[in-house]
Structure formats: C-alpha cells, structure tokens
Amino acid sequence: MSVAKVTEIIASSSKSFEDAVDQGVERAAKTLDDVTGAWVKDQNVVVKDGKVTEYRVSLKVTFVLKG
C-alpha cells in the first residue's frame, strides 16, 4: 500500500503555459521524491502595455510518501 500527498505550487514562464507547467514540475521533482503527477488548477497571465509578458500556472503536484 502507498500513500500520496498533494501540494500546490505556482510556476511562471515568459514563453508559454506549457513551459510554466514543465518548469514547475521539474522544480518540484528536485525537492519532492516520487512525483507521480500534476494537475493544472488555474492559469493566468501578466499583461504590460497590452502584451502578455508572463504565463502563470497553479499546479497541484502529487507525490508518494516514503515509509
């Protein structure tokens, strides 16, 4: 039997939502062991002078607890 935990993180990218997700999952995997999945809870953008300057995602990251 295994037990998993879910934690929420926010990641951003100047390129795209997909890049923000990729960066968020990669960063979470550096700190959390056994990351098994992620769910995009929310997306938003930062706009300056009428142009999108940053893509942000709120992710719920699932990882398996040791032990």
* Whether the predicted model's global pTM rises above the 0.85 cut: yes
Tokens representing residue 38 in the block: 């992620």
Burial of 38 (0-12, 13-18, 19+ CB in 10 A): buried
pLDDT per position as a tens digit, 41-61: 999 999 999 999 999 999 999
The residues, ordered by sequence, that sit 6+ positions from 8 with a Cβ below 8 Å of its Cβ are 41, 58, 59, 60, 61
Report pLDDT for 67: 76
Report pLDDT for 52: 98
pLDDT per position as a tens digit, 3-46: 999 999 999 999 999 999 999 999 999 999 999 999 999 999 99
